[in-house]
Amino acid sequence: MVVSETASVAPGRYFTIPGRDPFDEIEWELRDALIPGKDGPAFEQRNVEFPKFWSQTATNIVAQKYFRGRLSSPERERSVKQMIGRIVDTIGGWGRLGGYFASDEEAE
């Protein structure tokens, strides 16, 4: 079997609308992430941005385990939007480097 060198495996658009920011589709709010410890907070990050429908437990876990950067540093992520953007950029970059997309438009 011969496979075309221009073949791609790009998924079709399913959850988003072209030209519309997916983050505008949900409500966001600022809240504090706090995991209590025996002698005070085991983890605390104030004023983090999360989807309004996420639970406080989800907020605490994601802020502690998945936000990048040292706490109180300028590099520290403060929003799920930043975290998702970082992950999407990484996976998209891997796809581009691996030749999985026929064009930049397809990659988007």
Residues 76-102 have pLDDT tens digits of 999 999 999 999 999 989 988 988 877
pLDDT exceeds 60 at position 3: no
Copy the structure tokens of residue 19: 């030209």
* Residue 41 counted as domain residue: yes
- Amino acid at residue number 37: G
* Residue 3 counted as domain residue: no
* Residue 8 counted as domain residue: no
* Residue 1 counted as domain residue: no
Which of 100, 77, 97 minimizes the C-alpha distance to 87? 77
* Residue 29 counted as domain residue: yes
pLDDT the model gives residue 6: 60
pLDDT the model gives residue 105: 79
Tell me which residue range forms the domain holding 100.
Answer: 24-107
What confidence tier does 47 reach under pLDDT thresholds 50, 70, 90? very high
pLDDT the model gives residue 104: 80
44-47: long-range contacts (C-beta < 8 A, 24 or more apart)? 45/71, 45/76, 45/78, 47/78
pLDDT exceeds 90 at position 33: yes
* Residue 12 counted as domain residue: no
Copy the structure tokens of residue 55: 């639970």
- For 33, half-sphere exposure in the C-beta direction (CA atoms, 13 angstrom radius) is 24
Enter the pTM of the model: 0.83
* Residue 51 counted as domain residue: yes
* Residue 79 counted as domain residue: yes
Mean pLDDT computed over 4-23: 77
Task: Give pLDDT tens digits for 54-84.
Answer: 999 999 999 999 999 999 999 999 999 999 9
Give how many domains the chain has, as a whole number.
Answer: 1
